[in-house]
Structure 1
Amino acid sequence: MTNSIKRLAPFLLMGFVVFVISACSNGNEGDQSADEASVWEQIQEEGKLVVATSGTLYPTSYYEEGSDTVTGYEVEVVREMGKRLDLEVEFEEMGFDGMLTSINSGKVDLAANDITNTEEREEKFTFSEPIKYSYGTAIVRKDDLSGIKSLDDLDGKKAAGASTTIYMEVARENGAEEVIYDNATNEQYLRDVSTGRTDIILNDYYLQTLALAAFPDLNITIHPDIEYYPNNQAVVMKKDSGELESKVNETLKEMKDDGTLKELSEKFFNGADVSVEPDLDIEE
C-alpha cells in the first residue's frame, strides 16, 4: 500500500446518491430559450463557474494531507474544463443532499461529485457526457464471503451504507437489513464488516478497490461473483441548460479525445482509466 493511500484513508467516503424534487419548468418556450442564453452569458460576464462538490470523497473530491486546496478526479476535470473555457472555477463545498437543490436554486452552475446518471435524475437535471464509467460490487468478509453467494442471499443480512444511495436501494430490494451511517469514513464501514457487525457493503467498484488498498489487514474482500448495475457519472447542471450544456460537452469531448481524461483518471484511480466503459457482461 502506498503512503499516499494510507494518508488519505480517513477521507475515503462511500459514494452517495441523492434524489431531489425537480424545480418547476417554465412553460413558455421562448422565455426558456432566453433564460438558457442568459445563464451562459452571465457566466461569461462574471468570468467564473461555480461548482458544487464535497471535498470529502476520495478520489473524486478531497484534500491531500497538509493542503488547503481541494483536488480529486472530478475537481481537476472541472478545473481543466474551466481553463479551456477561459473561466475561473469556484468550488462550493457542501453535503450531497444540497448539491442538486443548489443547481436548481441557481446557487451553483454545476455539480461534480461522482453523481450517478439515472433515468429519474435525467427528468430533473441535465447530465454532461459521462466522465466516469463503473459498476456495483460488494465488500464482504474474506474468510466466508459473509455467507453470501449472490444478491439473492441478502435476505436478513446487514448491509452498511447511506439510506439514499442507489446501492442501499439494491440491498433493500433484496431483503437486506439496513445499517445506516451518517457521513462515516470507509474505515468504519470496512471494520464493521470485518468484525461481523455488518455483512456487506454494496458500492462502486473503483471506490471499493481503493478502500481495500487502504486497509489490507482487515478481513474483507470484494466478492468474486457479484457484479451488477453498470452506471456512469457526469457533471450535473440545471435542466435545459442550453449553451452551457453545449460548452461543457464540447470541452469534455476535447479532453477525452486528447487523452486528458485518461491521464487524470490514471492519476487518481491507481492507473485505471475510468473514462472508458468496462468490457464486462454485467447484470443490469
Structure 2
Amino acid sequence: MKKALLATLVSAVTLLGACSSNVAQSKSAGESDVQKIIVGTGTQFPNVCFIDENGKLTGYDVELVRAIDEKLEEYEFEFKTMDFTNLLLSLETNKIDVVAHQMEVNEERQEKFLFNKEPYNVFPLQIVVNENNKDIKSIDDLAGKKIATTATSNSAVFIEKYNKEHNLGAEILYSTTDINNQLRTGRVDATISTPFATDFNNKYADAQQKVVGEPLLNSNVFFLLQKENTTLSDHIDEALIELKEEGVISTLSEEWLGADYTVGF
C-alpha cells in the first residue's frame, strides 16, 4: 500500500494554489518512477465531493480516489478542484488527467474522452421538489414547469432531451449554487437530482425537499480520462476490481451515499 496523499486539504483555496497543471509528470527527481496524476473534482456535490466543516475536501468520489491511490504505487493522485462546468474543458486541454465527479456516459462525452471500463456505482436520477409540493408526482407533471439543473450535467442532458422529444414545454434554468434556495422560495418547481444529494441538502441546508416518482435513469458511473490514457485507465480498473472484492467500495457507498449503490452493475 502506498503512502497517503502528500498533504491534507485544509481549504479549496489552498488546494487550488498547490495543484500542478502538468499531466502525468514525475512526482520528484528522487522518485521519478512515480507519476503524478491530477484528478479534477468539485466542491459543491453533497456527499460526493465537497468541503466539510473542517475545510477538508472529502466525499464518496474523493475517498474512493484516495483508496485507489493507495493501491497504485506507480502513481500519486493529486486533486484539483473547480466548478463542474469547467471539468471537461480542463480535461480536454490537459490541465487535469482524470475527472472524478459521478460521470455518466453520454454520446458527447464518449466522442471526446475515455471512460474506464469498471463502474464504481449506480447513479439514480429522480425528480426533486419542495416538500410541500403536491402537484408534481411524475415527469409528465413537469409540463410547463420551471426546472433548475446544472449545465453540461447528465441531469441537464436528460431533461433537455425529454423536454424536446415529449413537447413538455418546461423552462430549464441553469444554476450551480442556489438550486436549494430556488426550490425553497418557489422560483423553480423542480430539479433532477439523487436521493443521497437530497438527504444531504435536507440535513445540512434545511432544503425542505423530497424525491418523487420513479427513477428517471439508473446509470453506471465511471472516471473520465483523455482518449490516449488507456494505461492509466486499465490500472484504475485493476484497483477498482480489488477494492470491490475487498468490500471497500460498498462500505464507502454506504458511508457517504446512505446505501450500497454498487449493486446492479
TM-score by length of 1: 0.72
Q: Identify if the C-alpha distance between structure 1 residues 143 and 259 changes in structure 2 by more than 3 Å, giving closer, same or farther.
A: same
* Structure with greater contact order relative to length (CA < 8 Å, sep ≥ 6): 1
Measure, in 2, the Cα distance between the counterparts of 1:109 and 1:61: 17
**Structure 1 residue 76, shift from structure 2 partner:** 1.2
Residues 227-280 of structure 1 show CA distances to partners (whole Å, capped at 9, x for unaligned) of: 21221221111114222111110111110111111111122123x1122228xx
**Structure 1 residue 42, shift from structure 2 partner:** 6.1
Q: Identify if the C-alpha distance between structure 1 residues 227 and 234 changes in structure 2 by more than 3 Å, giving closer, same or farther.
A: same
**Structure 1 residue 166, shift from structure 2 partner:** 2.9
Measure, in 1, the Cα distance between the counterparts of 2:54 and 2:151: 32
Measure, in 1, the Cα distance between the counterparts of 2:126 and 2:51: 26
Whether the 8 Å contact between 1:159 and 1:168 is mirrored in structure 2 is no
Measure, in 2, the Cα distance between the counterparts of 1:156 and 1:170: 17
**Structure 1 residue 216, shift from structure 2 partner:** 5.8
Whether the 8 Å contact between 2:127 and 2:190 is mirrored in structure 1 is yes
Aligned-pair Cα RMSD in Å: 2.5
1:1-284 equivalences in 2 (<5 Å): 45-67=33-55, 69-86=56-73, 87-128=75-116, 129-145=118-134, 147-172=135-160, 173=163, 174-181=168-175, 183-184=176-177, 188-214=178-204, 218=208, 220-223=209-212, 225-270=213-258, 272-277=259-264
TM-score by length of 2: 0.77
Give the aligned residue type for 1:112.
A
Whether the 8 Å contact between 2:46 and 2:201 is mirrored in structure 1 is no
Kindly indicate which of the two structures has a greater share of residues assigned to strand. Answer: 2
Measure, in 2, the Cα distance between the counterparts of 1:120 and 1:217: 32
SS of 1:198's partner is: coil
Identity %: 28
SS of 2:103's partner is: coil
Measure, in 1, the Cα distance between the counterparts of 2:137 and 2:251: 36
Q: Identify if the C-alpha distance between structure 1 residues 242 and 193 changes in structure 2 by more than 3 Å, giving closer, same or farther.
A: closer
Aligned length: 231
